[in-house]
Amino acid sequence: MGDGYVHGYHARERERLLDQAGTLVDLLHSDTAYPAGNTVLEVGCGTGAQTVTLARNSPGARITSVDVSAASLEEAKARAEAAGLTNVEFRQGDLFALPFGPEAFDHVFVCFVLEHLSRPLEALIALRGLLRPGGTITVIEGDHGSAYFHPDSDAARDAIRCQVELQRMAGGNAMIGRQVYPLLVGAGFASVRVSPRMVYVDSSRPDLVDGFTRKTFTAMIEGVRDSAIAARIVEPARFDAGIRALYRTAEADGTFCYTFFKGIGEKAAA
């Protein structure tokens, strides 16, 4: 796990992130739209899965999307072109040393990024410096400790714990969603409001059974199998039993719950 990043860089994981953005787009993004002419910094855009939605929902805003990975940025650019986006500019850079002056942006948007950082509070403080007074920051994060399901299964919970543990070993925190509020407040933002976005799945919602329970959450956990076994966090048979139990929750009498947290804060006027 030397790359300090548990998901997002591998082909299978990339597909999962796409599925996730497609399925959850309304739940997570529909209430984010920036005024025409405003400047928006998207931090950690990765391969652009969220960028397309962000840019479409704010067609008049000027969006700058940054990521530390040149390879991811290439994909993000290709995707933005394919989507016909004209209001996004891509820049490479590290979150803690971005090539922008202070107070350069009206808004900052951070989605599925803090979970990967060993210093999320310091990251938010750095981003606050890039905001003009009166500007806003929007943070969206998941929380793997928010996952529960029927039928319940200790093996499934052990498999989920593998992802949490790998992310921890990589310096991140897969249960950071519940901390969005104290992180934003701690970084000095004002008027912080956090709203949970719970995904509840039962068989009356077949699109979510397939799009979320199977193809987003369970596929993500399944994707850490080799890493978890190599790190000796779990026995292969136990992990596989957990994955089977997660897929079991997608059957007709199963249910699945997961919650994302969306927080908004303001940089108080000086």
Residues binding a second copy (CB under 8 A): 143, 145-146, 148-150, 152, 175, 178-179, 181-182, 185-186, 192-196, 198, 200, 202-204, 253-255, 257, 259
Residue 45 or 192: which CB sits closer to a second copy? 192
For 34, 86, 240, 263, the CA distances from 31, given in Å and listed in that order, are: 10, 21, 38, 12
CB of 123 to a second copy, least distance (A): 17
Closest CA to 256 of 196, 219, 214: 214
In the complex, the smallest distance separating the C-beta of residue 56 from a second copy, rounded to whole angstroms, is: 28
- Least distance CB 190 / a second copy (angstroms): 11
Of 192 and 234, nearer to a second copy (C-beta) is 192
| Furthest-apart CA atoms within the chain: distance in Å | 58
Q: Report the C-alpha gap between 106 and 112 in whole angstroms.
A: 20
Instruction: Indicate the helix (H) or strand (E) that contains 259.
Output: strand 255-266
Nearer to a second copy, 235 or 253 (CB): 253
Q: Which is nearer to a second copy, 58 or 249 (CB)?
A: 249
Residue 39 vs 146, nearer CB to a second copy: 146
Separation between Cα atoms, residue 160 and residue 152, nearest integer Å: 13
Structure tokens at 197: 């976005």
Residue at 70: amino acid letter: A
**Residue placing its CB nearer to a second copy in the complex, 35 or 151:** 151
Q: Which is nearer to a second copy, 80 or 192 (CB)?
A: 192
| Least separation in angstroms between CB 193 and a second copy | 6
Structure tokens at 128: 């606050």
Least spacing, CB of residue 55 vs a second copy, in Å: 29
What are phi and psi for residue 261, nearest 5 degrees?
-120, 130
Rounded to an integer, what distance in angstroms lies between the CA atom of residue 36 and that of residue 58? 7
Closest distance to a second copy from the beta carbon of 265 (Å): 11
Taking the complex as a whole, how short is the minimal distance between the CB of residue 138 and a second copy, in angstroms? 16
Please report the DSSP string for 143-185 in residue order. -GGG-EEES--HHHHHHHHHHHHHHHHTT--TTGGGGHHHHHH
